[in-house]
Amino acid sequence: MLDNNYNFKPALYFDCTYGTNVHTCYKFPFGLNADEVYNILTPCWKESLEKTNLIESLNDSHFPFDIKNLTFEQKYHILQGMAAGLPIDDIIYFSIDRILAYMNNDIKSEMKYFSLKAQWVVSPKTWNRIKEQLKIKELV
């Protein structure tokens, strides 16, 4: 059930551009793949039984975090991040800790200093992985 929506995977693009390994593949409810999940979730304003069932079926066998007490909206955002192939720590950082792009200026500034551009909210843990993989020394 794919339509014409394009599921951009920013972490995969980042890996291909910079030679890192941060993109993450996930197991989804109902055996769906990332593109199928993306198409069910998109557009965000369109509600459907299929979308609701998908979001409500998300559990810790799909995403390694205790999600049973999370809101429907948080689970929706987690599935969006999973479909985009974002690292687990970044999904938690954005969807659960609610760190938005404008709150993440330290990491964005450091990445910019090293001429790196990520098209998602990078968590401190992922930024440390990227620095390790690219052999980037800490800024003094």
- pLDDT, tens digit (0-9, with 9 covering 90-100), for 111-139: 999 999 999 999 999 999 999 999 998 76
Residue 5 is predicted with a pLDDT of: 67
Q: For residue 1, what pLDDT band results from cuts at 50, 70 and 90?
A: very low
* 53 found inside a domain: yes
Residues 45 and 80 in one domain: yes
Among the candidates 57, 84, 111, a domain finishes at 84
57 and 107 fall within a common domain: no
Same domain, 78 and 116: no
> Which range marks the domain in which residue 131 is found?
9-21+101-140
Number of domain units in the chain: 2
| Chosen domain end from 52, 84, 116 | 84
pTM greater than the 0.75 cutoff: yes
**Measured between alpha carbons, how far is 8 from 94 in angstroms, rounded to an integer?**
18
Q: Is residue 95 part of a domain?
A: no
